[in-house]
A = this chain, B = another copy of it.
Amino acid sequence: MNKSFQRVRNLTPAQAIVAYYFVAIAFSFLLLRLPGVLQPGVSMTYIDTLFTAVSAVSVTGLTVIDVSQTLSVFGIIVLMVILQFGGIGIMSIGTFFWILLGKRIGLRERQLIMVDHNQSSMAGVVKLITEIVKILLLIEAIGALILTVYFTQYFYSFGEALLHGVFGSVTATTNGGFDITGASLQPYVDDYFVQIVNMLLIILGAIGFPVLIELKEFLSNETKNFRFSLFTKITTSIFGMLLVVGTIGILILESVNAFKGMSWHQTFFGALFHSVSSRSGGLVTIDITQFSDATNVFMSALMFIGASPSSAGGGIRTTTFAIAILFLINFARGKNTIQIFNREIELIDVFRSFAVLFLAGTMVIVATMLLIITEPNASIVEILFEITSAFGTCGMSLGLTGDLSSVGKVIVMILMFIGRVGLISFLFTIGGKTDPTKFHYPKERVIIG
């Protein structure tokens, strides 16, 4: 069509997303250095501003500052804007590129909106994505409205209720993990209404853009014989299963510890909320340092898995985990193909899952070892938790973030970045251009394991 579009077309999706990221971080850094962002008398070092920018753009929520004690109201609004860029912005830009460039061949969404590759479809893609962004913003607005009205019982001034309502809705929907209460959602530990609203918003942000697109398509009833894509079926199934497993796990592990002596509903919500939130939300209703080491390692695993691809979350992503599990089950059963929901998984996707899993595992181990060296006063559970929280862009912490050394901050920033961009965005575009092997060597078997 025109040259700039051609240039965009020549960008691989990963390159585009990474480029968007760097620009967003640089821009956010500058925004956070604006006068009036900080409360009077408060100052922030450059590395702490950078850390906050990376954490906000990657919607992680790990923070070396106490937002409620550091940012002015204007600063909080700036932070909200950055969370929108990082959460919904990257989610939609990412989806846009994937769909437009058709790199993720066979993606159901692509079939839904574009018949062929000609440019006229571009408008359709833009329109669709704009619509979904509008829906997400609408969800945020509804969340903000509900929370604001509800919060009037907690705050004396309407202004404060509004600030807490809007920020609460934004941080939940974008899976931002930041808070302006100074103690996350701990003030609402017995307010199940606030918790339910937050959980719903977190899940809508973490379930993945394509799922939302299909849901809209399904509900609008416009497409004949509509069926949900394999992706949507897999990711929502595993998402739901992990929520249940996470809830039961935390419930059992803490029944003799933090939940001891609590009523059934306190226990249930305590487990459910942190199961939901550890998958990228990052908000807490309990001081999680009270949880046992076993629970914290368990939650580290949940954070490591993270949210859906093309969502506001991070981690290895649900589908990666699901395909690895499905592969193992089928392999043990002696089947060479993975069949699920009357479809067969492509071999290349199995490979990708394992590439992500292996690389992510190695990265977490190496980062943990580095932090053991750079943070001699921290326990290994604190470190592992911090690392998986960064990679899963979750944002929960056992308190290490504020004590991180400069090297430690850089390592955590790198993990937040990679966790949000997604390992596959690197691996995929590189590994994706199937470089047809010119000649083949004879194959030879090797003893494994």
Contact = CB atoms under 8 A, between A and B. Distances in A.
A440 B337 contact: yes
Interface string A420-445: 00111101101111111100111111
A20 interface: no
A400 to B, nearest CB: 15
Given A230-B444, A339-B441, A441-B339, A327 B355 contact: yes
Interface string A369-412: 10011000001110000000000000000000000000000000
A430 to B, nearest CB: 5
A187 interface: no
Contacts of A434: 334, 336
A115 interface: no
Contacts of A104: 445, 447
A337 B447 contact: no
Contact of A443 (B345, B353, B425): B345
Given A359-B328, A437-B335, A317 B430 contact: no
Interface stretch (A52-60, A258-266, A276-284, A291-299): A291-299
Nearest to A447: B309
Interface stretch (A116-124, A218-226, A318-326): A318-326
A356 B449 CA distance: 7
A317 B440 CA distance: 27
B327 A431 contact: no
Contact of A381 (B347, B380, B448): B380
Contacts of A368: 297
B432 A334 contact: yes
Interface in A229-247: 229-231, 234
How many copies the complex holds: the figure is 2
Chain A interface residue number, banded: 35 or more
Contacts of A358: 324, 328, 354, 357
B353 A293 contact: no
Nearest to A360: B449
A334 B423 contact: no
Residue from A292, A323, A342, A441 with most neighbouring chain B CB atoms (10 Å) = A441
A369 B298 contact: yes
Contacts of A230: 444-446
Given A365-B301, A431-B332, A309 B441 contact: no
Interface in A25-79: none
Contacts of A332: 355, 427, 430-431
A356 B344 CA distance: 22
Contacts of A105: 445
A435 B335 contact: yes
A210 interface: yes
14 contacts: A231-B444, A294-B369, A297-B372, A310-B447, A317-B447, A319-B448, A320-B449, A327-B354, A332-B355, A333-B431, A343-B443, A346-B444, A350-B351, A427-B449
Interface of A: 98, 104-108, 208, 210, 229-231, 234, 253, 292-294, 297-298, 301, 309-310, 316-317, 319-320, 323-324, 327-328, 331-337, 339, 342-347, 349-359, 361, 365, 368-369, 372-373, 379-381, 422-425, 427-428, 430-437, 440-449
